[in-house]
Chains A and B, each alone.
Chain A
Amino acid sequence: MSNIKLSEWDKRLLEGKEGKAKQIAMQIIVRMAEVQKAKQLIDISQAHIDGCIYTGEASLKFAETLANLKGEVSVPTTLNSISVDQQRWEKQGVDPTFAELANQLAQAYVEMGAKPSFTCSPYQLPDKPKFGEHIAWAESNAVVFANSVIGARTNRYPDFMDICAALTGRAPLSGYHLDEERLGDVLVDLPKLDHVDDSFFPVLGYLVGGKVESQVPVVHGLNYKPTHDDLKAFGAAGATSGAVGMFHIVEVTPEAPTVEEALGHKPPKEHWKVTMEELQNTWRELNTANDQKIDLIAFGNPHFSISECWKLADICRGKRKHPDVNVLITTSRYVYEEARKQGLTDEVERFGATFITDTCWCMIERPVIPEHTQTIMTNSAKYAHYAPGLVDCNVYFGSIEDCVRTAISGKPQVSEPKWLQRNNDT
């Protein structure tokens, strides 16, 4: 039936000798391998599961089917953000029926041996993978970070495939697991830019993702050293407007010491010179609001890092938010605990902001977003894209600093960032 060379272990699993759950998982993997035209499967060293987001009865039935069949993960496995904050949902007024279903889904995965890490930024956890490691991660922003910034190797594993890989420890040898698929396709030349701040990378990522779709971009000409937070924002945005699973930034990411190496010593399929106009249009596209007030500031899509907690604490030290504005930050329990030990959560809470753990903006609905909320401001291009469809709000997009200034005044403090201004143009 198939041209895939299976190992003895793969065959054992397919025959059901390691139990029904692993058999189902292997059947799904083999079908996907056929779709991907993979010739064999490989071992993966860890998995990150995105399927723990509650999307309806079917998601729960799938997970419970595997858990009831005594499925157990074969490799270290982390869990993505879930649909509720397990410690705070009651206080937040979340519907108990929904919370119950969301918790049941998370529990099914925990029963199979996954760690309750509950984060969409698993690369911020202590056991993150290393360069060259084959892994099976789902969650689009985690995938692009693992491939591009860490140099680990994962495909954009769909939900369901993540648990199948975790149960079997196997995945099709295809896509970004292969050297040649990791090479750049599109050479992206940047215009000369000054005064780059943290709002630049999400804008650039959103622009690049929309243009390259699922190809691998090689970003060249950046005269600024991005932080991991910048790279997170860039990747998350590119994996929103497009299907970017891997990018290179020359002299920044580990597989791009030079343009030539990033492209595999071949000419690029496409050479794109980004203009200031394109960046300006993208920035405008992310700002869909035109209101005089702000109801909510949303930080932490993807989950806030410890360095972002430091940055936010520094900016809001000694200040207080406007009483009509809610400021919510989503992060993992792990980062929250680190931030607490370093006194950062106190600082941020004195400003009037509130932390939420376990869940993230992609899953948060009302009433966690207060009922009256019409206008949101965020530093995340990913959330600026999804929020209008998910929670029916208008969105302003800006740097962390602009978000804090807005939170204090209660009115949108949105001005075109300095790096976008015309005198930058060459």
Chain B
Amino acid sequence: MDNNNELKDESVEPLNQSKHITGNVIVAGKGEGEVIATDVPLSFWGGYNSETGDIIDHHHPLYGENLTGKVFVLPGGRGSCTGSMVLLQAIYSNNSPGAIILKQIDEIISLGAIVADEIFKMKLPIIALNEPDFALAQKASYIKVNEYGKVFINH
């Protein structure tokens, strides 16, 4: 992660020095964290452990990384339809990423967060960005999403 000297207290105030963008808000909510980004889609089922937050897909470039509390920037999902349940379980047990930023709308990833919201009243923000904004998010070191779906990006 790049050091960012302009950021003194990144967790409390909005990231004033940062660029803010808006996207397609799939699930609204507040979330922030260090960015973990990839170009390769992920199947949450069979690719991610909801109890530890680790990526367990041996064929994924982020194999072994932990997503808990981070802002996960990925183009979309692949693989199993059960991804929604695995993500719900992660939200339910407070192990999920802090926010998810997508390039394409992904029904399977989205629905896990929608059900968490509808049934358990727990919010994991999910925002889909257009291609240039997604590219910015991928290069960010820290991202904050506010309750209106604004995405504050810091490099």
Q: Which of A269-291 touch B at CB < 8 Å?
A: 285, 288
Would B111 and A158 count as touching, CB distance under 8 A? yes
What per-residue 1/0 map shows which CB atoms of A205-216 lie under 8 Å from chain B? 000010001100
Would A56 and B93 count as touching, CB distance under 8 A? yes
Indicate whether A243 reaches chain B with its CB closer than 8 angstroms: yes
Indicate whether A318 reaches chain B with its CB closer than 8 angstroms: no
* Contact residues in A for B125 (Cβ distance below 8 Å): none
Q: Which of B1-47 touch A at CB < 8 Å?
A: 26, 41, 43, 45-47
Q: Would you give the shortest CB distance from B121 to chain A, in whole angstroms? A: 13
Known contacts A56-B92, A62-B88, A160-B84: A32-B110 contact under CB 8 Å: yes
What per-residue 1/0 map shows which CB atoms of B57-87 lie under 8 Å from chain A? 1110001000000000001111111111110
Residues of B whose CB lies within 8 Å of any CB of A are 26, 41, 43, 45-47, 50-51, 56-59, 63, 75-86, 88-89, 91-93, 104-108, 110-112, 114-116, 118-120
Would B89 and A56 count as touching, CB distance under 8 A? yes
Of all chain A residues, the one with the shortest Cβ separation from B49 is A389
Q: Would you give the shortest CB distance from A145 to chain B, in whole angstroms? A: 13
Nearest 5 A/B pairs, CB to CB: A56-B89, A158-B84, A58-B92, A389-B56, A388-B58
Q: Would you give the shortest CB distance from B81 to chain A, in whole angstroms? A: 4
Determine which of B43, B47, B89 lies in contact with A59 in the assembled complex, contact meaning CB atoms within 8 Å.
Answer: B89
Would B78 and A158 count as touching, CB distance under 8 A? no
* Contact residues in A for B89 (Cβ distance below 8 Å): 55-59
| Extra inter-chain contacts (17) besides given A36-B107, A158-B108, A162-B81, CB under 8 Å | A24-B118, A35-B107, A35-B110, A55-B88, A57-B93, A61-B92, A61-B120, A62-B119, A139-B81, A156-B107, A159-B81, A161-B111, A213-B76, A240-B80, A243-B77, A362-B45, A362-B46
Q: Would you give the shortest CB distance from B80 to chain A, in whole angstroms? A: 6
Would A65 and B58 count as touching, CB distance under 8 A? no
Q: Would you give the shortest CB distance from A349 to chain B, in whole angstroms? A: 30
Would B78 and A242 count as touching, CB distance under 8 A? yes
Would B115 and A28 count as touching, CB distance under 8 A? yes
Report which residue of A53, A138, A243, A390 has the largest number of chain B beta carbons within 10 angstroms of its beta carbon.
A243
Q: Would you give the shortest CB distance from A62 to chain B, in whole angstroms? A: 6
Report which residue of A24, A58, A160, A162 has the largest number of chain B beta carbons within 10 angstroms of its beta carbon.
A58
* Contact residues in B for A389 (Cβ distance below 8 Å): 46-47, 56-58, 63
Q: Would you give the shortest CB distance from B41 to chain A, in whole angstroms? A: 6
* Contact residues in A for B120 (Cβ distance below 8 Å): 58, 61
Of all chain B residues, the one with the shortest Cβ separation from A240 is B79
Q: Would you give the shortest CB distance from A397 to chain B, in whole angstroms? A: 13
Give complex CA distance A162, B108 in Å. Answer: 11
Q: Would you give the shortest CB distance from B58 to chain A, in whole angstroms? A: 4
Would B85 and A285 count as touching, CB distance under 8 A? no
* Contact residues in B for A240 (Cβ distance below 8 Å): 43, 78-80
Q: Would you give the shortest CB distance from B37 to chain A, in whole angstroms? A: 17
Indicate whether A143 reaches chain B with its CB closer than 8 angstroms: yes
Would B41 and A158 count as touching, CB distance under 8 A? no
Would B26 and A56 count as touching, CB distance under 8 A? no
Give complex CA distance A4, B129 in Å. Answer: 23
Known contacts A36-B105, A240-B78: A55-B111 contact under CB 8 Å: no
Would B81 and A143 count as touching, CB distance under 8 A? yes
Determine which of B41, B50, B107 lies in contact with A161 in the assembled complex, contact meaning CB atoms within 8 Å.
Answer: B107
